[in-house]
């Protein structure tokens, strides 16, 4: 029987009230009612939070998100109010505006991979969007597509849904707005990344609404946790692509070396030091190549 997911423990931060912990981030409410979002060094795979952290991962995610928010500021406002945070979470946290979050994961795909590839192989479509025949693992799509998913509870898996289902849930005007914003962000980011030798295969965005109804980009944005980044000079459709993310972790967990049976429902084992270091190096490399800054 699958093990019940356990929500990760949160830090005790003076003056802040813990609201929620996800697989990677912890959310706190501050005395002024704004939110403190903290990116931990936790890493997840196959819907489990692994027992071994990856050093500096939370700092990379936070700094890279802040950089992307700046690149996208003319397209859409973001939720970050300040980086002046308590000392114990300095560098890995932001103060952000409370929003009414839309109950949908907004995914844009420019290449075929992951659950999109699985959908295509089964139906010739992704989230009810028909695609041309003959595509393969890593194929570039004729144009980027919006392929939304449900927001899953902690320990559960997001499920791809059709655009019509999103429109039925949040209304046609808002669904159209989220689709158009998601594709605009993807196109901008894909161009920026490609200029730096990285292909943005797909990305997942989250949006919320301010009190006045303005739609705002929230959570993290365009990090190796929420996106597939591939080295452009190694792109070769027809096989899994090298990537700047936790692929080392996934590969080790499903190898005989880990001794873990994914189908058993048992939690994964601790990661070896070599896998942790390789994964950290990939996150840092993605940050440095995209931003042009030393980490």
Instruction: Please give the chain's pLDDT, 295 residues, in tens.
Output: 444 444 556 788 988 999 999 899 999 999 999 999 999 999 999 889 999 999 999 999 999 999 999 999 999 999 999 999 999 999 999 999 999 999 999 999 999 999 899 999 999 998 889 999 999 999 999 999 999 998 765 445 678 899 999 999 999 999 999 999 999 999 999 999 999 999 999 999 999 999 999 999 999 999 999 999 999 999 999 999 999 988 889 989 999 999 999 999 899 999 999 999 999 999 999 999 999 999 9
Which of 257, 269, 272, 273 has the alpha carbon at shortest distance from 3? 269
Please tell me whether residue 100 adopts helix, strand or coil conformation. strand
Please tell me whether residue 54 adopts helix, strand or coil conformation. coil
pLDDT at 162: 92
222: left (phi over 0), alpha (psi -120 to 50) or beta: left
pLDDT at 3: 45
Give the CA distances from residue 10 to residues 16, 18, 37, 86, 229, in Å, rounded to whole numbers and listed in that order.
11, 7, 11, 14, 29
The two tokens of residue 129 are: 């969007």
Pairwise CA distance, residues 79 & 73, whole Å? 11
Which of 42, 36, 39 has the alpha carbon at shortest distance from 86? 36
Number of H helices, E strands in the chain: 6, 16
pLDDT at 156: 57
Query: What class is the 100-234 domain?
Result: alpha beta
pLDDT at 232: 97
The b/e string for 96-130 (b: 16+ C-beta within 10 A; e otherwise) is: bbebeebebbbbbbbbbbebbbebbeeeeebbebe
Q: What are phi and psi of 263, to 5 degrees?
A: -75, -10
Which of 152, 140, 142 has the alpha carbon at shortest distance from 204? 152
pLDDT at 12: 86
Instruction: Measure the CA dihedral 94/294/270/229, to 10°.
Output: 90
């Amino acid at each position: 029987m699958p093990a019940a997911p356990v929500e990760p423990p949160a830090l005790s931060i003076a003056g802040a009230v813990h609201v929620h912990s996800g697989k990677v981030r912890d959310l706190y409410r501050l005395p002024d009612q704004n939110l403190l979002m903290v990116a931990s060094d936790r890493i997840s795979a196959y819907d489990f939070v692994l027992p071994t952290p990856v050093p500096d991962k939370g700092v990379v995610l936070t700094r890279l998100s802040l950089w992307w928010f700046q690149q996208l500021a003319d397209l859409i406002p973001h939720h970050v109010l300040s980086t002046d945070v308590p000392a114990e979470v300095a560098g890995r946290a932001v103060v952000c505006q409370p929003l009414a979050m839309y109950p949908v994961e907004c995914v844009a795909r420019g290449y075929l991979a992951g659950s999109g590839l699985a959908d295509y192989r089964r139906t010739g479509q992704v989230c009810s969007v028909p695609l041309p025949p003959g595509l393969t693992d890593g194929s570039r799509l004729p144009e980027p597509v919006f392929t939304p998913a449900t927001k899953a509870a902690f320990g559960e898996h997001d499920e791809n849904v059709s655009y019509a289902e999103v429109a039925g849930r949040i209304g046609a005007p808002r669904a159209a707005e989220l689709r158009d914003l998601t594709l605009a962000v993807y196109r901008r980011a894909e161009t920026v990344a490609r200029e730096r030798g990285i292909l943005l295969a797909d990305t997942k965005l989250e949006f919320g609404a301010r009190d006045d109804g303005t739609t705002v980009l929230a959570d993290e944005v365009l990090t190796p946790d929420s996106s597939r980044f591939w080295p452009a000079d190694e792109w070769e459709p027809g096989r899994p692509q090298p990537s700047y993310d936790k692929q080392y972790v996934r590969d080790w967990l499903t190898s005989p070396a880990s001794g873990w049976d994914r189908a058993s429902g048992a939690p994964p084992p601790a990661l070896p030091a070599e896998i942790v270091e390789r994964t950290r190096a990939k996150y840092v490399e993605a940050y440095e190549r995209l931003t042009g800054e030393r980490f």
